[in-house]
Structure 1
Amino acid sequence: MDLQQIKFFLELSKELHFGNTSEKVFITQSALSRQIKALEEELGVTLFERTKRSVKLTAAGQFLRERWQRLVEDINSIHKQAQQIHEGTYGAISIGYPGSIVYGFLPELLIHIHQNIPHLKVELIEPTDITFEHLLLNYQMDLGFRREPGVNPTLRSTCLYSESFALIVPASHQLNQENFTSLAELKDEKFILSGLHHNTFYVQSLNAIFQEYQFSPNVYIESDFGATILSLVARGLGVSILPGSYAFSAQPGIRFIQLPQKASLYAIWRKDDNNPMLKNVMHLVHLVSEKFKLLEDQVVNNS
């Protein structure tokens, strides 16, 4: 007994006519009759009552029609899912991200995934910089976005786009984009920043900014979470420097002042990951990153 015989049986159980069924399944009537007879002999049951004028399902045939119809539908569904997995349009992906992209790049990417790969389940993880590569190397994450390229040689990374850092001050602060001249003007302000003692590329970028302006900030509060920093700045507890994409949050009570220094966003994944689903997602990643490159160019040209 094979799946094709079951499909012949199911078609005949609908038509109840050997001639019509043989035309639908593209075999001769005698060949169809042999297939049904072989199926009955293997099962040891009579599936159809045949007369010269009619074909009728037996009680055993009715039982098997109901069970086998569901079975064939399940098999077809499994085959379809297997094909979608092969094509990278079905499955799950785990994506790590920094807080700075949750207001712009990340939701735009998720919209593209929803529109183009609707059967893909997405798990979002917001790890610290320290655990990013660990999660990738231990197969707990499939794709990561962060502010530095991959270090481990088994990882692959690509720079998606660069954006300006921004000085973030309370809305009531005397500084704005028009009268701002130098970060040195804020050397006596209280800063809310990521811990400048961390050995990450992002923190190195922050330290380089302060070195360029030749002062060490008075770090009043340390936090690695941008949303927390924005909230504290809005309450007048200090000022901060973050990637400019936080401006997409449109949080009230704060002002963004564009700085000339840049922060880059990288995509990172395992070199040995040949899953077609990842390839499809990366195609969308590049589409979205091109949009944000254009947005950054517009910001620079208008400044």
Structure 2
Amino acid sequence: MSYQIELRHLYYFKVLAEELHFRKAAERLYISQPGLSRQIKQMEEIYQALLFDRGKRYVRLTGAGVYLKKEVDILFNQMDKMTRELRIMGSDDITELRLGFIGSAVQSVLAKVLVHLRHDFPSVEVDLQELSNEMQITKVLKEELDFGFVRLDDFPKGIHHIAIVKEHFSLVVPRDYPIQQANFTSVSEFKNEPFILFSKDYSHSYYDLVMSIFKDATFDPHVALRTVNALTIFNLVEQGLGVAIVPASLKNGYTSKVKFIDLIHIEQRTTLSLIYNASVSHPGIDLFLNVIQKELSLSQ
């Protein structure tokens, strides 16, 4: 077999594998649908493998297509990384930082860090992505993020982590709920209430930590709803669909009509950590770490 595959073939395949629809993929690629079909057929002839199962109402990846998509994703991620690293090497200035975060990071430290970053390094563009803890870990390890702000107890090999802030939890209740901070005595008072919690997709270790609060209060909660979005939790509580437990920093920055009961007398605490890839070294890493250290010093 003569090697005739070009980068454009792989990119055409990548887009079609994402869309699984020839017309939509062709529109993304700004080529005709017949032209895309010819390119894919050419690839299949070169590789001597069927990449897509085509039907009247569907397009599906074959086993060979699934394998190739995985490899092509790795290839294009590596090319993006190479392009970015070369741009950094060719410039005296850091031009971009990619930051992942969970919602509570904005309320506790991230906003302040971004203010300092903009003041001290106005030319640096920041790409912000609100993601679950696990997704941030994955993207940092794959070098698709420079940093992440997460709530985790255990970190995989290859991840550096710095504790940013350790805080207590708060109960979230409707504004007119009969129990408020002044007359609160114990979490066990809420054993008959439905709870709205961050799901395990937010963080398995965080979810387990919250469950330990209920265990210490000697009841199993009725978890009525789960989500990964703080504002959704507050809005659902406001509508009387349940109560919630969240990191105390989430009291700041939201205008929902709910009240908070600080759980400062229980032992559970949650830690917001900064993570980054231990094997990556470029000027942007040191720049952002210096900004973080400056903010932590000011906070202390």
Matched, 1:177 2:184: no
Matched, 1:129 2:133: yes
CA drift of 1:189 comes to 0.7
| Residue of structure 2 in register with 1:14 after alignment | none
What fraction of aligned residue pairs are identical, expressed as a percent? 27
CA drift of 1:150 comes to 5.6
Q: Helix, strand or coil: the match of 2:170?
A: strand
**Distance in 2 between the 1:197 and 1:141 partners?**
19
| Residue of structure 2 in register with 1:91 after alignment | 95
Change (3 A) 1:239 1:114: same
Change (3 A) 1:248 1:226: same
CA drift of 1:106 comes to 1.7
Question: Contact between 2:140 and 2:277, CA under 8 Å: does it hold in 1?
Answer: yes
Q: Among residues 259, 262, 267, which one is paired with 2:269 in the alignment?
A: 262
Q: Among residues 220, 227, 251, which one is paired with 2:224 in the alignment?
A: 220
- Once the two structures are superposed, the pairs formed by residues 1-303 of structure 1 within 5 Å of their partners are 82-84=91-93, 90-149=94-153, 151-195=155-199, 200-260=204-264, 261-291=268-298
Question: Contact between 1:150 and 1:268, CA under 8 Å: does it hold in 2?
Answer: no
**What do the CA deviations read for 1:63-101 (whole angstroms, capped 9, x no partner)?**
xxxxxxxxxxxxxxx9997222xxxxx211111111112
Aligned residues: 211
**Distance in 1 between the 2:88 and 2:126 partners?**
22
Aligned AA (1:185)? E
Question: Contact between 1:159 and 1:264, CA under 8 Å: does it hold in 2?
Answer: yes
Aligned AA (1:93)? L
**Distance in 1 between the 2:285 and 2:154 partners?**
17
TM-score, normalised by the number of residues in structure 2: 0.65
Aligned AA (2:236)? L
Change (3 A) 1:150 1:275: farther
Change (3 A) 1:166 1:79: closer
Question: Contact between 1:149 and 1:268, CA under 8 Å: does it hold in 2?
Answer: no
**Distance in 2 between the 1:134 and 1:128 partners?**
10
CA drift of 1:140 comes to 0.8
Change (3 A) 1:83 1:230: same
**Distance in 2 between the 1:149 and 1:220 partners?**
25
**Distance in 2 between the 1:256 and 1:154 partners?**
37
**Distance in 1 between the 2:171 and 2:233 partners?**
12
Max Rg structure: 1
Question: Contact between 1:164 and 1:262, CA under 8 Å: does it hold in 2?
Answer: yes
Aligned AA (1:258)? D
Question: Contact between 1:96 and 1:127, CA under 8 Å: does it hold in 2?
Answer: yes
* Structure 1 unaligned blocks of 5 or more: 1-77, 85-89, 295-303
Aligned AA (2:113)? L
CA RMSD, Structure 1 to Structure 2 (Å): 2.3
Change (3 A) 1:131 1:265: same
* Structure 2 unaligned blocks of 5 or more: 1-86
Q: Helix, strand or coil: the match of 2:160?
A: strand
Q: Helix, strand or coil: the match of 2:124?
A: strand
**What do the CA deviations read for 1:160-198 (whole angstroms, capped 9, x no partner)?**
110111101111111122211100000001111123698
TM-score, normalised by the number of residues in structure 1: 0.65
Q: Helix, strand or coil: the match of 2:91?
A: helix
Q: Helix, strand or coil: the match of 2:95?
A: strand
Change (3 A) 1:93 1:177: same
**Distance in 1 between the 2:152 and 2:161 partners?**
9
| Residue of structure 1 in register with 2:11 after alignment | none
